[in-house]
């Protein structure tokens, strides 16, 4: 399952990265559905797309968004928490990836459950605090340029 790039361009960090969270959720759900149906080849493809997409999303945040947020707000508190949560998420992704590779449905489901314990709260903090704050501290032209850069990279 491939979820195409959006038909529109986003002009805020919050709009784009929140859309990307939804896109990633749909990819993980697709992988889970394939596992439930015993379609391991399709599960591997969907999970691979999810894994690459989430790695990209985290890279965009850690290499582009977080340094800018820290520079503009003068604080690293929220981004320190986000980086630690990213580390935990990466660990769970490795477990899920191994489960998919060996067609281990119980381990896959256990990994997805662990991810479900992490991602909703993590995403909510980003969507309700980090992204809107970044949008607020940037002038409109910089905000739009940043949103466009995130979409391109």
* Domain extents in the chain: 13-152
pLDDT(112) > 70: yes
Distances from the Cα of 91 to the Cα of 8, 15, 17, 84, 101, angstroms: 33, 27, 22, 11, 16
pLDDT digits (tens, 9 = 90+) for 11-33: 999 999 999 999 999 999 999 99
Average pLDDT over residues 78-89: 97
pLDDT digits (tens, 9 = 90+) for 42-68: 999 999 999 999 999 999 999 999 999
CATH 1.20.140.70 is the classification of domain 13-152: no
Q: Residue 142: what pLDDT? A: 96
């Amino acid at each position: 399952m491939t979820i195409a790039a959006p038909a529109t361009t986003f002009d805020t960090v919050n709009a784009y990265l929140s859309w990307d969270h939804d896109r990633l959720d749909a990819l993980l759900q697709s992988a889970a559905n394939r596992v439930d149906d015993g379609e391991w080849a399709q599960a591997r493809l969907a999970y691979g797309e999810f894994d690459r997409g989430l790695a990209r999303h985290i890279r965009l945040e850690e290499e582009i968004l977080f340094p800018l947020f820290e520079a503009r707000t003068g604080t690293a508190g929220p981004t320190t928490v986000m980086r630690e949560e990213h580390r935990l998420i990466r660990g769970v992704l490795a477990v899920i990836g191994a489960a998919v590779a060996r067609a281990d449905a119980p381990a896959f489901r256990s990994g997805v459950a662990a991810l479900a314990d992490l991602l909703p709260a993590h995403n909510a903090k980003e969507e309700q605090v980090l992204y809107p704050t970044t949008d607020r501290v940037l002038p409109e032209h910089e905000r739009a340029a940043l949103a466009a850069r995130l979409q391109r990279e």
